[in-house]
Amino acid sequence: MKRIIFVLIAAAGLFWGNPVFIPPAAAEPLVKLPETPIRSCRRGRAKLYDECSNQKRLFAAALDRANTEGKTLLVSYGAEWCIWCHVFDAYINGEKSRFSYKFASPDAPDMFRRATLYEREKSDVSTKAAALQKFAADNFVLVHIDAQYAPRGEAVLKRTGALAHYNGGLPYIFTVDKSGRYAAHLFYNRVETRRDSTDWYRGYNRQKLIAELKRMKAAAQQ
């Protein structure tokens, strides 16, 4: 009802020659599981991963959600300390230009430090960032599967058949078909951008990332 009234008011404004601003519709958010932070798990520090619950059950719930919504399930097998896990999540959720991360190293996964990274593109990336976010939200449900602390994380790789394609790095990002079987994984060397100087940076070429995600979705639909 409120929407109808708003449209009528806008139309009246146009009729009487008074300009009326109609805000664009907000982008639909990407559906992600688990919902974090989980206060009861390891002091609620994790932003992406459920570090306590059974990961096979989490995967099953995410697969049901994806099938119900007619979308492809995208799996990010990783850990809270993994900076690239946070980078991937930030990019497909439409973040841009300035990124703040809390991360650690695999040898000391609880010794976190913070970093603020700047994209420093020569032109505005807002359109590309919005396009990536929209494509991800329209086509995928994302589930973060913990590889560090939670039980049954590796069991998800075995259950899906993704373990046979895993090289040991994190994040391991892959799609599954409707039955939960491995379809395709992300080739990082095709999409990553990085600076390793004192002005270091970790990110993605958004257009190439969309192309990779399209390939992974197509494989899941075969």
Distance CA 133, CA 127 (A): 10
pLDDT in tens, 158-185: 999 999 999 999 999 999 999 999 999 9
The two three-digit tokens of residue 106, written as one number:
């695999």
Average pLDDT over residues 46-50: 95
Q: What is the CATH number of the domain that holds 109?
A: 3.40.30.10
Distance CA 156, CA 180 (A): 10
Average pLDDT in the chain: 91
Residue 43 has a pLDDT of 87
Q: What are phi and psi of 18, to 5 degrees?
A: -95, 120
In Å, how far are 82, 93, 101, 174, 219 from 114, measured between CA atoms?
Answer: 12, 20, 6, 27, 37
Average pLDDT over residues 186-201: 94
User: Do 19 and 81 contact (CB within 8 A), yes or no?
Assistant: no
The answer to whether residue 66 sits within a structural domain is: yes
Distance CA 137, CA 135 (A): 6
Average pLDDT over residues 197-204: 93
pLDDT in tens, 2-22: 444 444 444 444 444 555 555
Domain residue limits at 49: 26-220
Residue 18 has a pLDDT of 56
Q: What are phi and psi of 181, to 5 degrees?
A: -95, 145
The answer to whether residue 73 sits within a structural domain is: yes
User: Do 164 and 158 contact (CB within 8 A), yes or no?
Assistant: no
The answer to whether residue 7 sits within a structural domain is: no
pTM here is: 0.87
The answer to whether residue 150 sits within a structural domain is: yes
Residue 19 has a pLDDT of 53
Output 14 or 29, whichever has higher pLDDT. Answer: 29
The answer to whether residue 163 sits within a structural domain is: yes
Question: What is the percentage of the chain residues whose pLDDT exceeds 90?
Answer: 82
Residues 6+ apart with CB under 8 A from 70: none
Residue 166 per-residue DSSP state: -
- Cα 195 off chain centre by: 22
DSSP collapsed to 3 states, 177-193: CCCCCEEEECCHHHCEE
Distance CA 100, CA 103 (A): 10
User: Do 142 and 31 contact (CB within 8 A), yes or no?
Assistant: yes
- Tell me the pLDDT band of 122, cut-offs 50, 70 and 90: confident
The answer to whether residue 11 sits within a structural domain is: no
Question: What is the percentage of the chain residues whose pLDDT exceeds 70?
Answer: 88
Residue 43 per-residue DSSP state: G
Residues 6+ apart with CB under 8 A from 147: 77, 78, 79, 153, 154, 170, 172
The answer to whether residue 215 sits within a structural domain is: yes
pLDDT in tens, 66-81: 999 999 999 999 999 9
Average pLDDT over residues 30-53: 93
Domains: count for the chain: 1
Say yes or no to pLDDT of 49 above 90: yes
Residue 109: how many CB atoms within 10 A of its CB?
A: 15
Distance CA 99, CA 82 (A): 15
Residue 17 has a pLDDT of 53
The answer to whether residue 145 sits within a structural domain is: yes
Say yes or no to pLDDT of 186 above 60: yes
